[in-house]
Amino acid sequence: MSFALHGLPVSRGIAIGHAHLVSHAVLEVTHYVLPKHLVHEEVARLDDALQATRQELLALREYRPQLAAAEFDAFLDLHLMILDDVHISSAAREMIQREHCNAEWALKTQMEELVAQFEAFEDAYLRERKTDVIQVVERILKTLSGHPGHVPPDSLREASLILVAHDVSPADLIQLKPNQFSAILTDLGGATSHTAIVARGLNKPCVVGLHHARELIKDNDLLIIDGEQGVVLVNPDKQLVAEYRLRQSQFDLERQKLKRLKSAHANTLDGTHVELHANIEMPNDLPEVKENGATGIGLFRSEFLFLNRDTLPDEEEQFAAYRSAVEGMDGLPVTIRTFDLGADKQMKQAVRVASNPALGLRAIRLCLAEPQLFRTQLRALLRASAYGNMKILVPMLSGLAEINQTLQFISQTKHELSAQGIAFDPNVPIGGMIEIPAAALSMSAFLKKLDFLSIGTNDLIQYTLAIDRTDEEVAHLYDPLHPSVLYLLAHVIGQANNANVPVSVCGEMAGELAYTRLLLGLGLRQFSMNPGQLLATKQRILTSSLPDIMPITQKILHSDDPLRMQELLAQLNA
């Protein structure tokens, strides 16, 4: 059956490929009690699923990658062993017979018991094996649900797989980076959630907030993804596929053409220079930054170094990462943000998740509450500052008290390093993110105390409009054109420019072509964005004229009618 789904567009481009359901089946298991006469059948259903899963795992052997074949075999052996473990198969069978529950529930319950046992292991390697237990049970659950995991028919197919997930955490998504797949779809999430930001960084079409995609799409369904429109076509006919193949090649051609702008200066038609910097999550993102001609890193989200691991990165590891980013940029500025953990980026070590994490112990609040963690990072950052042009950026500051406390930490760390004879740049610029309304409305403290500012529109919009950026139910309320948001942006940029304090925007708004000219009109001269958006933004800047932009921007600022504002924006972008 063909049908279309609509979600929130995250990352441009067209993908055509087959669905690969990323299972979160475990979370979705319901419990029901069976009449006595059906218990026997339920046990048989479980046995059939176990048998089918075993066949699936054995079949996977045929498709093992040439590289890392030994690891792949070891992984399959382990999964086969877990599948046959009495704690899973026999215990689930007995539970169905004893409690007359459904097979899914029995499996989930046994899995939780086994996972708890693994979690109690002292050995980190053994503890990690709980993930394998979960993966095996998910595979069985998929089979029980009638959506068995499929085996890719050949290694080439991998490249066109489209991941379909109910939800993916930013931590999980970053691990997929080196993998081969062509697009990502999720039921949950807003377009500025960190999951969406990481997806954008992968430069693959991505649509989030699809609500029921994982339920409606089956493994192996043919899909067309239009990442610009947020549209997913399921099992389209041949004509549609041909049409989208054409669009896909046009899109690729456009991308190819943009590459010519790589070393062009980003100047407006009237000769005003604009700095175009890149946002990165890891130092290994640098090749893409260079390919897209960035003149610096405007935001290195250092917290990604802390995710997906059992132990925290120590000073040496952090130092090596920061140094490689700074050295890799050959003297161009590298702005490293102190870790913004909490909210939707939790360390495994986090002891508790706050009831409202976006308003909880996040970013600088967490740093100030965990001085040891913060000091370790500051030492690593300052040491790396000796190797190039580095700046330190502090997220989520709300006002003078936090600024002072932060600066005091930095100055103490500098004293400590000096006393130990360790080199660092004594003048390393310290900047603050403007991402909560309180910060935008207390600019004097920021301008007095800090060397530069960077506006995080993702959070600034989230906190101004009171919409959870990870919640697709309120994603339609995310509105960079809301008069309150525009007021804050104009205020911050204007005040910073008047005080000669450099200011940039590093939230997703900076890379949205619809807003490039508006931000220029507000006085912004430094943008930082996902590397994949840099060249298109440069093209937009090259065709923009400030004398034309300014009067229309003023009209937008003085309007409060959404329709009129959209009309004016269209005029600005004509």
Q: Which residues bind ligand PEP (CB under 6 A)?
A: 197, 299, 301, 340, 435, 456-459, 506-507
321 and 313 Cβ atoms separated by less than 8 Å? yes
CB of 490 to ligand PEP, least distance (A): 17
* Full strand arrangement of the beta sheet holding 183-186: 3-6, 231-234, 222-226, 14-22, 161-165, 183-186, 206-208, 8-11
CB of 244 to ligand PEP, least distance (A): 31
Amino acid residing at 568: L
| Residue nearer to Mg ion on the CB measure, 217 or 364 | 364
Length of the chain: 574
| Residue nearer to ligand PEP on the CB measure, 395 or 523 | 395
CB of 505 to ligand PEP, least distance (A): 8
CB of 431 to ligand PEP, least distance (A): 13
Choose, from 20, 194, 206, 277, the residue flagged as catalytic: 194
From Mg ion, ligand PEP, none, which one binds at residue 457 (CB under 5 to 8 Å depending on kind)? ligand PEP
Q: How far apart are CA 192 and CA 230, in angstroms?
A: 14
- Applying CB under 5 A, among 221, 281, 459, 508 the residue interacting with Mg ion is 459
- Applying CB under 5 A, among 148, 201, 456, 511 the residue interacting with Mg ion is 456
From ligand PEP, Mg ion, none, which one binds at residue 301 (CB under 5 to 8 Å depending on kind)? ligand PEP
The neighbour count for residue 372, using CB atoms within 10 Å, is 8
> Of the ranges 44-52, 113-121, 155-163, 427-435, which one interacts with Mg ion (CB under 5 A)?
427-435
| Residue nearer to ligand PEP on the CB measure, 182 or 462 | 462
CB of 541 to Mg ion, least distance (A): 24
394 and 337 Cβ atoms separated by less than 8 Å? yes
- Applying CB under 5 A, among 56, 435, 472, 508 the residue interacting with Mg ion is 435
| Residue nearer to Mg ion on the CB measure, 425 or 459 | 459
| Residue nearer to ligand PEP on the CB measure, 170 or 523 | 170
Residue 290 token pair: 């260079």
From ligand PEP, Mg ion, none, which one binds at residue 506 (CB under 5 to 8 Å depending on kind)? ligand PEP
Q: How far apart are CA 437 and CA 396, in angstroms?
A: 10
What stretches of 85-129 show up as alpha helix (H) in DSSP?
A: 89-99, 103-119, 124-128
Mapping DSSP to helix (H, G, I), strand (E, B) and coil, where does residue 226 land?
Answer: strand
DSSP 325: H
CB of 526 to ligand PEP, least distance (A): 13
* Count of residues of this chain found to bind Mg ion when the rule CB under 5 A is applied: 3
From Mg ion, ligand PEP, none, which one binds at residue 440 (CB under 5 to 8 Å depending on kind)? none
Q: How far apart are CA 319 and CA 323, in angstroms?
A: 6
CB of 509 to Mg ion, least distance (A): 12
| Residue nearer to ligand PEP on the CB measure, 340 or 472 | 340
Question: How many alpha carbons lie under 13 Å from residue 509 in its C-beta half-sphere?
Answer: 28
Active site residue 506: yes
166 and 214 Cβ atoms separated by less than 8 Å? yes
| Residue nearer to ligand PEP on the CB measure, 381 or 434 | 434
Active site residue 150: no
Q: Is 468 in the site for Mg ion (CB under 5 A)?
A: no
Q: How far apart are CA 164 and CA 153, in angstroms?
A: 18
Q: How far apart are CA 67 and CA 456, in angstroms?
A: 41
What stretches of 191-237 show up as alpha helix (H) in DSSP?
A: 194-201, 213-216
Q: Which residues are catalytic?
A: 194, 506
User: Given the rule CB under 5 A, which residues bind Mg ion?
Assistant: 435, 456, 459
